[in-house]
Structure 1
């Protein structure tokens, strides 16, 4: 009888070039038996071939879809292919500390928590030195808009951008109010109760929606400080990654995501928080500036000029990507699935 209790679901976050480094780190630092489902949404040829070879060599399930996928689409595909009591969602641009998964499972079993988040650091060269997320809270707020009181909810992340060495020794296992999807362990029973993850949260704040859903379901979310995962993030993109990046961080999809969040949780859609989180142009313009003007990336004034020049092109590309991609997002993920 198979005693494996956890399936690792790898999701492509925004790039492909970290695939090999991340996968090697995962295998080198995972010290218990696991199943794996790797969701590949239309990766470039070299990545596709690498994943096919690794799937055969390491024995994990590779599901290839010939379209780009937004995060919760990919996660729901992985969820439907999971038969174990737990699923660990991880992004394909993460690095892992030894024992990360063992500690998450220990926390879930010892506390009964339905969801467990590790400490998430960020960066590269060096990695694991800057805090990205150590849990947090979903905070209700009120805001005056043209003399009218509006209600909203925002995410507040603990210790973001602090030096990891300054805070990690203080951390103890505890309940928390916020998780992110760079890495999170979830009881599959909870996902069944929720009906999967909400694909109306297309490309932003899906972690905030999930954190609210955990609370609404009377489930428990714990932070396990002995599990540490590093989100590399903000790596310069290669040419064949730019189309996926523009799809991933489309502003119109972000607006739809935020409106869905407001409808679902009875929030007002015209708060500054919603407006700010609906504009993802800063992400795209930053990457375009790095791509086309890499030689001046360390010069803030020069980069500001480059972004200003790039801005109208970014807006046009963003609109064209939306027109091309919206039909795909209207389809249920069951219709998108294929195999590697």
Structure 2
């Protein structure tokens, strides 16, 4: 997808990504740290996925969604970190126009599925705690697969819409992006044509992609909290809350960083804060998710131990 020449200016064919550090001496340190972070993230999430697939005890809707979330985490970090490492190692900071838009598309594809998948997980907890008698019928395999499929389709539509919309903008210089991957806010700042329509599109789709899921998640957990508080047993309340706390932590990190990132479109000057938020969104969050979900979950811990030691589960 190469930009076409237009009469009112010279269209740039590539961008310069400044990356995380501009000091040459720090680049090897950053490369090692992010390579290690990538290995930990990919290894942790793939271990969670393997545990879910191999452990019969984890063949439940909650872990089905968690397995899909692990795939998304690997995809999200793979879209941003390996290209950044490649540029650091090759001492090349340029990225072609087509590669930039491709990275933009896949980043929003994975992030979009994340939005809906986290909502599906909240709905699953709502049914399990508030509607236990009908849980098995309301959350059967067909419903689970449909929720995941719809998440992918909606996210694809959102990512494709933004990619096509930004391809209509004119980029005639400057071409320097003060970030380590291509994203909408930074590209809006470089456009020499009006981005008002793109920003309205981002706001409108953001309401559908993030606002609606947040409302559904909050509503679900209000009902869950009311139901849990009615449990007389302290042990029962603790167990019910523990199954929800991990999910709420992930939701807080994901939406907190996302809202901060995309609500700063009015900022003309690129800030290093954007890089920090980008690291949280694309590196720290996917890396922490396996730890968050396994730290207080004995079932996942036991399954991971059996996967790592090669022992089979007792049926």
Q: TM-score, length-normalised on structure 2?
A: 0.24
Q: Which has the higher contact order (CA 8 A, sep 6+)?
A: 2
Q: Which has the higher helix share?
A: 2
Larger Rg, first or second structure (1 or 2): 2
Q: TM-score, length-normalised on structure 1?
A: 0.23
